[in-house]
Chain A
Amino acid sequence: METEKVLEELKDIMVERLKFDPSRTSELTLATVLPKGMEGSLGLDSLDFIEMSIAIEERFGFVIDETQNVETHFETLGTLVAYIALHATGG
């Protein structure tokens, strides 16, 4: 799956499931840090990560294998896009 398409789908998830203001997504880049508490981050909290992980599985058609250390894949939009692109079954 192409990086750009995955990124756009993730932005949709942020608006639809995490209730982000759509205007915020235009500022996002692959370098955007996701977890809150880090400088310049998007500020996702623990509930956001639960919601986002479930939404990713539904949208991209694969099960996130949390037995692996998936936290590293959720560090930035770039790492998450790469992880999804590797596992997504659609598109």
Chain B
Amino acid sequence: MPVERAAIRKSLERLTGATGSRLDGLTARVFVDFAMCFSDLLSTNREPSARLASYVAGTDGVERLDGLTGGLISLTAHVGNWELAGRLLAGRSARPTHVVVAPEEARELERWVRRDGEGVRFVTRSRPTVSLELVAALRRGEVVAVQGDRALGTRGDTMISFFGRPAPFPLGPFLLASAVGVPLVPAFCVLTADYRYRVKVAGPIAVRRGDEEDAARAWGALLEDVVREHPTQWFNFFDIWDPSNG
């Protein structure tokens, strides 16, 4: 995967400032961490949610969810095992969770990585009117889980500073939150040194009409902190500052 390796190396150089053999080591580590998270994804998808807790070494801020009533948007990124976080949090909230996903590039993978059940339902972004379903779910007090770190390449992207350079980020989650009047709750699930996971839930981001880009910038700053702490667990195998580049 020379193209992906080159993209990861370039990103890590910017994220960490590493060069030479240290950069080589970090680059290799991304693929190791990804393999670990992906294999865990395949196995955790087949286990009941009650057993997922055995994968978790600890949590930070999960209790924040207990005080939230009504609909909310769980905002995450391609960091660590984000799908495990979704299943764990869905089990905890006891509210249906609609996970918004891009149509899987490798369709034969779908049945392995996307399994509905136990309060989790995958919603493929295959048609524009799917957003009406999400509005309805939030109004019913349910959870919509979305990824907030991959631009769509449409007018729905906004440029925000990320590690000192403008990068396109999707504005959709913030527009959805402000339109329905629900908070965004950032959540991550990172691999620990003993190959278990730590679930981190940050404070809710409230979005008022017209302030969506400010909210996106707040999200970008938070994501920077997480990626700075876990640079080899950010799984974007392309140039996120210029997605059209390769």
Contact = CB atoms under 8 A, between A and B. Distances in A.
Interface of A: 35-37, 44-51, 53-54, 64, 66-67, 70-71, 74
A35 B175 contact: no
A71 B132 contact: yes
Contacts, number: 55
Interface in B42-72: none
A36 B135 contact: no
B128 A35 contact: yes
B203 to A, nearest CB: 24
Given A50-B176, A51-B179, A66-B139, A44 B128 contact: yes
Interface in B115-132: 125, 127-132
B136 A37 contact: no
Interface of B, helix, strand, loop or mixed by DSSP: helix
A62 to B, nearest CB: 14
B127 A70 contact: no
- The 6 A-B pairs at the shortest CB distance, nearest first, are namely A66-B136, A46-B131, A71-B129, A35-B128, A46-B128, A49-B131
Contacts of B128: 35-37, 44-46, 48-49
The residue among B125, B130, B132, B140 with the most chain A CB atoms within 10 A of its own CB is: B132
Contacts of B171: 47
The residue among B131, B140, B156, B172 with the most chain A CB atoms within 10 A of its own CB is: B131
Given A35-B128, A71-B132, A46 B179 contact: no
Interface of B: 125, 127-133, 135-136, 139-140, 154-156, 171-172, 175-176, 179
Contacts of B175: 47, 50-51
B131 A66 contact: no
Contacts of B154: 45
A37 B140 CA distance: 29
A74 B155 CA distance: 21
B136 A50 contact: no
A54 B176 CA distance: 10
Contacts of B125: 46
A51 B174 CA distance: 12
Nearest to B139: A66
Nearest to A36: B128
A53 B132 CA distance: 8
A74 B127 contact: no
A66 B132 contact: yes
Contacts of B129: 35, 46, 49, 71, 74
A67 B176 contact: no
B135 A53 contact: yes
Given A47-B131, A49-B132, 4 more contacts: A50-B131, A50-B179, A67-B136, A74-B129
8 contacts: A35-B129, A45-B155, A46-B125, A46-B129, A47-B156, A47-B172, A47-B175, A48-B128
